[in-house]
């Protein structure tokens, strides 16, 4: 069944009347996601693709008992939106908005930990368990989603939302299904990271291996490698580190806000070295991922 979501996941979309949110609502409903309510203060009583809009999350929870929230509001409104969701008892929050002030994210993550809630993002496309549900905009239209994502036993974690879809599609085209695919977000500070999500996959009986898509910048991959190296019998992980050219241009940021390399710190080559040392299988090219995944699933040696 995958991690974090199942057929009982019910969703409220905060900022539902916005352009991007209204599109993802239709796409998600077409895929089968149970979006039961939306929230835009001052627009209560309206409908978006048949979904009732409320003025507050509390009212949406009272009426529908939703247990997950997708936040698609302007950056400076994210903190208040997340606090409202947490105060209403929602335990899974997916933040699609990018470039949220770092101080706001720290406060959100601190409050979420106190409330026993989990946060994906910001700057995330969400997560998707093939054939079950999706929370967020991952996969886009229903036709693209069904073509790219298929049910199986390989978890996918990616810092890039678009590359979450690319990796899943690459696996699907090679006959490898996925348990759950998660876009963790490309901002410098995010909620659930590689290590925390791997723990969920490690405990999931239906996941046999995990693939991770990495980028330059930050130390998330190095922390994960250090954790992985301490585990006695971890599930196999296949990783790919993008942006090796960034190593030649220290101090420059490309793409996501977190993709900035300062000397050796955060470099792609450093990430490759520490992950391989920890026993993680690292693909030199994106196209090598399926071969490595098939090898580890068959308990063979990786060359």
Q: Which residue has the tokens 């693939």?
A: 211
Is residue 189 within 8 Å of 102, Cβ to Cβ? yes
For residues 23 and 53, give the distance between their C-alpha atoms in angstroms, rounded to a whole number: 15
Give the full edge-to-edge strand order of the sheet including 47-48: 47-48, 51-54, 34-39, 10-14, 68-71, 92-95, 118-120
Spatial CB neighbours of 180, under 8 Å, sequence gap ≥ 6 = 2, 3, 4, 5, 127, 128, 129, 155, 156, 201, 204, 207
256 is catalytic: yes
Out of 256, 281, 299, 303, which one is annotated catalytic?
A: 256
For residues 38 and 17, give the distance between their C-alpha atoms in angstroms, rounded to a whole number: 8
- The beta-strand segments (E) located in 96-177 are 118-120, 126-129, 133-136, 151-158
Separation of CA 76 from chain center: 21
Is residue 243 within 8 Å of 253, Cβ to Cβ? no
For residues 83 and 70, give the distance between their C-alpha atoms in angstroms, rounded to a whole number: 13
C-alpha pair distances (Å), 188 with each of 50, 98, 132, 197, 276: 36, 10, 30, 17, 24
**Which residues carry out catalysis?**
256
């Amino acid at each position: 069944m995958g991690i974090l979501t199942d057929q009982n996941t019910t969703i409220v979309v905060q900022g539902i009347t916005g352009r991007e949110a209204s599109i993802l609502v239709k796409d998600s409903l077409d895929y089968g996601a149970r979006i039961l309510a939306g929230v835009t203060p001052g627009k209560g009583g309206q409908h978006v693709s048949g979904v009732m809009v409320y003025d507050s999350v509390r009212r949406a929870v009272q009426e529908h008992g939703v247990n997950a929230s997708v936040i698609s509001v302007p950056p400076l409104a994210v903190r208040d939106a997340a606090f409202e969701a947490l105060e209403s008892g929602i335990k899974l929050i997916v933040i699609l908005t990018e470039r949220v002030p770092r101080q706001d994210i720290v406060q959100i993550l601190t409050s979420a930990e106190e409330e026993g809630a989990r946060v994906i993002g910001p700057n995330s496309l969400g997560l998707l368990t093939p054939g079950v549900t999706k929370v967020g905009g991952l996969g886009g239209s229903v036709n693209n989603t069904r073509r790219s994502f298929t049910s199986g036993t390989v978890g996918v974690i990616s810092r890039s939302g678009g590359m979450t879809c690319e990796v899943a599609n690459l696996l699907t085209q090679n006959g490898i299904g996925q348990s759950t695919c998660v876009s963790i977000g490309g901002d410098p500070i995010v909620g659930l990271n590689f290590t925390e999500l791997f723990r969920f996959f490690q405990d999931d009986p239906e996941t046999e291996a995990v693939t991770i898509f990495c980028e330059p910048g930050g130390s998330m991959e190095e922390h994960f490698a250090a954790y992985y190296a301490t585990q006695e019998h971890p599930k196999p992980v296949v990783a790919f580190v993008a942006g090796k050219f960034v190593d030649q241009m220290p101090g420059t940021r490309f793409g996501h806000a977190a993709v900035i390399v300062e000397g050796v710190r955060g470099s792609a080559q450093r990430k490759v070295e520490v992950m391989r040392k920890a026993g993680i299988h690292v693909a030199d090219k994106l196209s090598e991922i399926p071969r490595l995944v098939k090898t580890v699933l068959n308990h063979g040696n990786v060359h």
